[in-house]
Structure 1
């Protein structure tokens, strides 16, 4: 079968046809009349869900778009049949002559018609069998029927049909591209939502594990305390004392505990001062994060602020860490517009005799100043490491 004709190809538009009948229909629709035999079979892709055959990948994609069916079976080799162009053309002439093709050995006899009239019809572009049928049906009068289209009109019509088909294919390709882009966006959103859900579940699992760990620690401490109490009662019994302490013993223990607590309180440092601006520091960071869609710029700004606060808190006596020039191009490129308000809330302030963009720390490294800078650093650390910072 490799050397036998399996299809016909229109040399005018490269359309592949699987029979002479299809070639005739193609020629009548487009005005094309040049066909060649081909050993390449017409592609046949059959939908396994509805048995719809498709000849091209474009037809397959359009069928999938309209029905949602995605599984196709390639039956090209099974459906390929060797064709005899001459025999099929003979059958077609017999059908046009009205003799039918039920009998395999039908004798095809062409009706006698006016030869000159037939030649004139062929010169005007009519196929011979159509001209014979027209003259035979008109009684061989020889009158030349006027064709519905001149050759020029037929060519123009064929060009128009080809242009329409080309535009249709372009529109279909654009529609397929649009659908593919929608599917890509939808898949991206689903992946992002799945990632967020996984992060939330991971956080919940971590919190639950921490809660269970604390509960287990509490129970362990309770068991140790009970064991110590039991051991204490056993020692008292061995010493000939009552299992439980007497009121006098309890009072002595309370007095001893109070004295110990007073001694420890005297050793402890005074509590750090209350930082009233902690909430404001967080609100400023949330505002900067929500005020821009550039996540990289937000991260860079927060990292820079954290370095500035950390340097000043860790080395309060270093003058270069206590003075900031916000007009410096390198520093300005790393900070967002609202960063100055955050620095002022963390303790920096404008100083007399300095430029407009210069801020200094006026506290001379006092404990309150260090605590304020530390609080600002904690808020920045939370903003950089907590994925839900500012989301609620």
Structure 2
């Protein structure tokens, strides 16, 4: 099979008029390779053929030497122009249809993407809500357990010191004097203990995030208080130099450290924290030690107020 030979002059004339080489060759071959008019008429009749722009294939060549050449008339030019316009319109229509289809596909893809994103965001929102709900429930359980423990601690302390087991609101905030065999001693109510505890809670809140530093401060305060309880007559344990670097680093530089010692009876005078021997209150200092120990061992201390 081969492409048939056609009249080169007619083929050239058709290409000059704007027809593709393959289409012009097919038109000349099928119109008898005689005149431009016949070739143009054939193209008009077969413009919708699917293979119009493909080269024809034949077994033998056509003798075109005797084929005469015809002049291009105005009518031929008009027909050729009409064919080219029809072809351009057809291609534009096809492109318009294809572009519309592509736009529809883009819109559908965009809708699917937005829907998938919405579903993902909704699922994430639900997961976050469920997580927050679980966290709140866990916090509430922890809060309830802590409150129960604190209430029980209050009851135990009141029972230990011989106080009536009534609500805190009905307990006087001043010291109660109890006489046993002519010995008078002050018994401090829950309010006094709460002053000590609140001072430590405030200290912890003021230095939030510095857990190691807070624990060291509590342990240092416990040492100061414990030394006085064990050796109440030793002045060296009842006197603290405020400018002492160790004291400043561990207690003095923290808001609430000095205040706690003042609640225990220490007085600030001439650059010292001093606890006069006549003001040493072993029971108060013991309560302070109890509060400090609770603050050190309780991981939730300072998180909730009682």
Alignment TM-score, normalising by the size of structure 1: 0.34
Structure having greater relative contact order (Cα 8 Å, sep ≥ 6): 2
Larger radius of gyration: 2
